[in-house]
Amino acid sequence: MSIKNTTLIWFRNDLRIHDNQALFASLEFSNCVAIYIFNENDFIYDQDGFKKIGVFRYNFIIETLEDLKLKLSKLNVPLIILKGNTIELLKQKIIELNVSQLYFNASPGTQEMDLEALLTTFCASNKISFKMYQTNTLIHIEDLNFTPQNFPKIFTQFRKIVESKLYIRQEFPIPQKTNSTFFFNSFRDVNQPQKIVVQKINTEIDIKGGETNALNRLDYYLWKSNKINTYKETRNELIGMDYSTKFSAWLAIGAISPRRIFWEIEKYEKKINKNESTYWVIFELLWRDYFNLSMILFPKAYFRFKQNESSFLDEKQKNNFLNWKFGKTGSPFVDANMKELLNTGFMSNRGRQNVASYLINDLKLNWQLGAKHFEEYLVDYDCASNYGNWSYLAGKGNDPRSNRYFNIEKQKQTYDPQNKYINLWNK
């Protein structure tokens, strides 16, 4: 490429054009190219038999990239999708495209932060300007005065502090299209990875990737169905799409901004109704913020426990874990939830707490085995929320306690008294 002063936009878990600070800032330049890279190591099984991206989340990301590519095309920005060594491919494209400035949004997690450090060091040594923004949370990190020293140890303390002076920034607008079509014409026909054909069974859950579907879901859940009015009452149900928001998968991949959800709820509360349920959705966004901020301030805290490798397990423990993984524990409620996860990439919040408690308290296995399994299978996997919730239930993370035990039979009687969910999956 002979063109100079190219702007490269590196997409990660921010696959949207609304409220995207890196995209908005980068498009003040004319010659823009966007890039998304699947890290090749995420598809390789590690020594313990886990990989980071399973088929359900992979397909969801592909659907989201298809939607993003179409939306970026209307801005005259091509989206290049690659698979390989992330840092090496980024360096290669920076040189090949004569990149003079790089824009991206930060992502919490130790590997993610290590990658950011390698990339920014490369840019600095090659006199390439770069801008990194924090856009993953509802509350902007710069609007909080938390440090590793004063960060609240438990969520309730955090919530009371932030709610007492809650300030949510306005969204960044969708940028105007660039004037240059040089790169768009050069890259618009580049082949894109295809989805993997997989058959889902026994499910009413239909979560398709993409910013368009995310915004449609928000519109449906608030305005078209008014389901948000009863969220707090229905959120612990087990079957169907509408007992909960189902925003989590789109939030995890950044197909929807938490600020868009917040401001839309604010609008809804003013025009339609404000009640405990509308508040509770925002309450859940604050929980998500808490885990994300915890990982930003203490990036290695969730990964400091060493004995998570399967090599530390004896044969009985290995069999117990495999039975848990494949829904063969003999506990009908646990098994039903694990089978739903294996076959759909989804599990309800109530189910997640129960199967986690069973692994930790009944099987006496390390919580990180469960966290790794969820990382591979969940379509809505989010690093901070996943490891935050697992460590919380294990009493190893924030608010450490050892008595977060769920009586599985009592839970089943409360949330599946007629065995509808159990019978759906334990056939």
- Residue 253's pLDDT is 97
Question: What is the mean predicted confidence (pLDDT) over 238-243?
Answer: 95
- Residue 102's pLDDT is 96
Three-state secondary structure along the chain?
CCCCCEEEEECCCCCCCCCCHHHHHHCCCCCEEEEEEEEHHHHCCCCCCCCCCCHHHHHHHHHHHHHHHHHHHCCCCCEEEEEECHHHHHHHHHHHCCEEEEEEECCCCHHHHHHHHHHHHHHHHCCCEEEEECCCCCCCHHHCCCCCCCCCCCHHHHHHHHHHCCCCCCCCCCCCCCCCCHHHHHHCCCCCCCCCCCCCCCCCCCCCCCHHHHHHHHHHHHHHCCHHHHHHHHCCCCCCCCCCCCCHHHHHHCCCCHHHHHHHHHHHHHHCCCCHHHHHHHHHHHHHHHHHHHHHHCCCHHHCCCCCCHHHCCHHHHHHHHHHHCCCCCCHHHHHHHHHHHHHCCCCHHHHHHHHHHHHHHCCCCHHHHHHHHHHHCCCCCHHHHHHHHHHHHCCCCCCCCCCCCCHHHHHHHHCCCCHHHHHHCC
- Residue 308's pLDDT is 44
- Residue 341's pLDDT is 96
Separation of first and last alpha carbons in the chain? 58
- Residue 3's pLDDT is 58
- Residue 307's pLDDT is 47
Mark 153-166 as b/e (b = at least 16 C-beta within 10 Å).
Answer: eebeebbeebeeee
Nearest Cα neighbor of 190 from 83, 80, 37 is 80
Q: Could you give the C-alpha distances from 369 to 43, 256, 301, 342, 408, in angstroms and in order? A: 17, 29, 16, 16, 20
Lowest mean pLDDT among 82-96, 335-349, 402-416: 402-416
Question: What is the mean predicted confidence (pLDDT) over 147-167?
Answer: 93
Q: Is the pLDDT score of 140 beyond 60?
A: yes
Mind listing the pLDDT tens digit for each residue in 326-350? 999 999 999 999 999 999 999 999 9
Q: What count of other Cβ atoms lies within 10 Å of the Cβ of residue 413?
A: 12
Kindly report the backbone phi and psi dihedral angles of residue 399, in degrees, each rounded to the nearest multiple of 5, phi listed first.
50, 60
Residue written as token pair 């495999």: 322
Domain residue extents for the chain: 6-135, 211-297, 302-425
The rounded distance, in Å, linking the Cα atoms of 380 and 246 is 9
Indicate the average pLDDT of the chain: 91
Residues 6+ apart with CB under 8 A from 219: none
Let me know: does 56 contact 377? Beta carbons within 8 Å: yes
Mind listing the pLDDT tens digit for each residue in 357-399? 999 999 999 999 999 999 999 999 999 999 999 998 988 766 6
Mind listing the pLDDT tens digit for each residue in 205-227? 889 999 999 999 999 999 999 99
Q: Which amino acid is present at 177?
A: K
Share of the chain above pLDDT 90, in %: 77
Residues 6+ apart with CB under 8 A from 423: none
CATH code of domain 211-297 = 1.25.40.80
User: Sorting pLDDT into bands at 50, 70 and 90, what band is 1?
Assistant: very low
Nearest Cα neighbor of 11 from 107, 101, 141 is 107
User: Sorting pLDDT into bands at 50, 70 and 90, what band is 414?
Assistant: very high
Q: What count of other Cβ atoms lies within 10 Å of the Cβ of residue 36?
A: 21
Mind listing the pLDDT tens digit for each residue in 268-311? 999 999 999 999 999 999 999 999 999 999 887 777 655 444 55
The structure's pTM equals 0.94
Lowest mean pLDDT among 89-98, 105-114, 176-185: 176-185
- Residue 191's pLDDT is 65
The rounded distance, in Å, linking the Cα atoms of 63 and 213 is 10
Question: What is the mean predicted confidence (pLDDT) over 14-27?
Answer: 96
Q: 406 or 197: which carries more pLDDT confidence?
A: 406
CATH code of domain 302-425 = 1.10.579.10
- Residue 63's pLDDT is 96
User: Sorting pLDDT into bands at 50, 70 and 90, what band is 401?
Assistant: low
Q: Can you name the residues that pair with 130 across neighbouring β-strands?
A: 102
The rounded distance, in Å, linking the Cα atoms of 106 and 273 is 35
Q: 192 or 229: which carries more pLDDT confidence?
A: 229
Share of the chain above pLDDT 70, in %: 92
The rounded distance, in Å, linking the Cα atoms of 173 and 6 is 22
Which fold would CATH assign to domain 6-135? Rossmann fold (3.40.50)
